[in-house]
Amino acid sequence: MPLKWRWVLIIVVTAVASYLCFPLQEKIKLGLDLKGGIHLVMRVKTDDAVKASTDLDVETLRSELAKRGVTPQKLESAGVGEILVQGVDSAKATDFRDLVSSQFSAYSMDSRGGGDFRLEMKPARVREIRESSLRQALETIRNRVDKFGVSEPVIQQVGFAGGGDERILVQLPGIQNTERVKELIGSPAYLEWKLVSIPPGHRVEDFRNLAPASRESLLSQFGGALPADTELYPAERQQVGEQLYWPCKKASPITGNDLRDARRDVGRLGDAVVQFRLTADAGQRFEDLTRANEGQLLAILLDKKVISAPRINAVIRDSGVIEGSFTVESAEDLAIKLRSGALPAGMELLEERTVGPSLGSDSIRQGIVASIMGSVLVVIFMLVYYRLSGLNAIIALGLNVLLLLGAMGYFHATLTLPGIAGVALTIGMAVDANVLIFERIREELRLGKTVKAAVASGFTKAFSTIVDSHVTTLIAALFLFGYGTGPVRGFAVTLCIGIIANLYTNIFVSHALFDTYLSSRRVDHLSI
């Protein structure tokens, strides 16, 4: 390429890089270790998702068997991904097998004789559910964090999905309220409406004054055994040393998936409540439910705990309020969780770190001081050892840093402490490439070549060595980016960008500087 066009390209690239990186505060984000905030590693309990899918299949299987007149003595979930069926009539065993093979192909069937069967979910289906629940958990947490108002969060999968140890990394720069964040992003927030079962011989108002109650008390009111369609659910509030319960129908006519919106509001007595709106279809179902059960109790459950059980005083269609012992903050958090959707499985906190902003400020200051000191020492060394030719290396080095910052600004990369280390390593590699080129030029001059020929030969002979060293380092950096997490990826990003910038400045820009100097005058001696 002619020298004139090389300089046009260099000027354009420099201008673009300058535009992309300034102002630095707006274009380049600071990571958790520099800005301060919260670092969490959470495990998604994907077994919960597999069990929920199994429970749903149990109900579907029961319904399909009833349609075919098959009534086993026992049909229940026997664990994660397992269904136990007992007492199938021998005359109906063939119908049972045909149904399982045609509609429940995700299960392998094991006959135990005597009309007993064991269905086990196939590994491929289990893996699919685990991966799906992880993706849904990532999206739900991201939605909750976005609604919480955190700027530039890091929410990503750690490790591989499908093995039962699915993990999520959450980094929230600038946030210090750890407990609220853990509650906000870690609780499933699965909302349900269930009708309350009234014990025989009790009026609604009388029972409302007695409930919630202990498990033993409720069982005695039902004559020692609950109806088949009823289950005890714990109340959110406990008595001292005793858990209280509500008897509710197992079916959930309305769930959090039917919500269109949820907002914090102020109740009639000035207390904090959550106002909700349902979708059109759910609104019709809610209207039918409240019309058919006016005067009954309708429990509102959050994560399988009853937070309130108000009386249905009028027909309700598509909006209402959730009342409970809410503070303004807890009502706002519940509204956020409901708007963002329920987590598909429980979450377990494995690692928690809080980085203070003062530590981040110290890290930034020390990193800047170290970078400046290193750069100054490099400049002094290049000027002393390579004399005026050292100016070439210094100009190329400055442009290299500018290109690195410009690329980080374009990709909205996050600068972390390991990222600063990557910048320092990039500077070292840039100087190393200059040393290779300059030493090659010195060798050519000692062999008696002219300055122009020595420069051209020096760049040609050093080219393959520089490319080899940079490409091998780039491959290592790409693996770090692909398999690393958090700080390791921050280091890999700056290193990858820096390596590409090094190749451009050391081979293209530095050569153009030498050619410009040599083309403008006759040079018999090179200060190198």
Q: What is the pLDDT of residues 283-292, one digit of tens each?
A: 888 888 889 8
**Residue 236, token pair as written in the block:** 């959110």
| pLDDT, average across residues 117-137 | 88
Hunting for tokens 């927030």 — which residue is that? 189
Task: Tell me: pLDDT of 162 over 60.
Answer: no
Q: What is the pLDDT of residues 36-84, one digit of tens each?
A: 788 888 888 888 788 878 877 887 888 788 888 888 888 888 778 898 9
pLDDT tier at 8, thresholds 50, 70, 90: very high
Task: Tell me: pLDDT of 236 over 60.
Answer: yes
Q: State the pLDDT at residue 460.
A: 92
Question: Where on the phi/psi map is residue 114: left (φ > 0), alpha (ψ -120 to 50), or beta?
Answer: left
Task: Tell me: pLDDT of 35 over 80.
Answer: no
Question: Where on the phi/psi map is residue 110: left (φ > 0), alpha (ψ -120 to 50), or beta?
Answer: beta
pLDDT tier at 442, thresholds 50, 70, 90: very high
Q: What is the pLDDT of residues 255-264, one digit of tens each?
A: 877 888 888 8
DSSP state of 314: S
Q: State the pLDDT at residue 374.
A: 80
C-alpha span between 32 and 95 (Å, rounded):
60
Q: State the pLDDT at residue 457.
A: 92
Q: State the pLDDT at residue 500.
A: 92
Task: Tell me: pLDDT of 110 over 80.
Answer: yes
Counting Cα atoms < 13 Å in the Cβ hemisphere of 119 gives 24
Q: State the pLDDT at residue 11.
A: 94
Question: Average per-residue pLDDT in the chain?
Answer: 84
Task: Tell me: pLDDT of 526 over 70.
Answer: yes
200-209, 361-370, 380-389, 473-482: the lowest-pLDDT one: 361-370
Per the model's pLDDT, the better-predicted residue between 204 and 175 turns out to be 204
Q: State the pLDDT at residue 402.
A: 92
| pLDDT, average across residues 11-33 | 85
C-alpha span between 356 and 296 (Å, rounded):
52
Distance between start and end Cα atoms, the chain: 26
Task: Tell me: pLDDT of 357 over 70.
Answer: no
Torsional sign, CA 52, 54, 57, 63: negative
Q: State the pLDDT at residue 13.
A: 93
Q: What is the pLDDT of residues 413-437, one digit of tens each?
A: 777 778 888 888 888 888 888 899 9
Q: State the pLDDT at residue 471.
A: 92
Q: What is the pLDDT of residues 360-372, one digit of tens each?
A: 677 778 877 887 8
Q: State the pLDDT at residue 238.
A: 62
Task: Tell me: pLDDT of 142 over 90.
Answer: no
Q: Which long-range contacts (CB under 8 A, 24 or more apart) does 18-27 make?
A: 18/402, 18/406, 19/406, 20/405, 20/406, 20/407, 20/409, 20/410, 21/402, 21/405, 21/406, 21/408, 21/409, 24/405, 24/409, 27/405, 27/408, 27/409, 27/412
Task: Return the amino acid letter for 301.
Answer: L
C-alpha span between 445 and 513 (Å, rounded):
18
pLDDT tier at 16, thresholds 50, 70, 90: very high
DSSP state of 235: B
Statement: the pTM of the whole predicted model exceeds 0.75: no
Report for 249-253, 311-315, 427-431, 476-480: range of highest mean pLDDT: 476-480
Max Cα distance, the chain (Å): 114
Q: State the pLDDT at residue 485.
A: 66
Q: State the pLDDT at residue 472.
A: 92
220-229, 332-341, 376-385: the lowest-pLDDT one: 332-341
Q: What is the pLDDT of residues 296-308, one digit of tens each?
A: 999 988 888 898 8
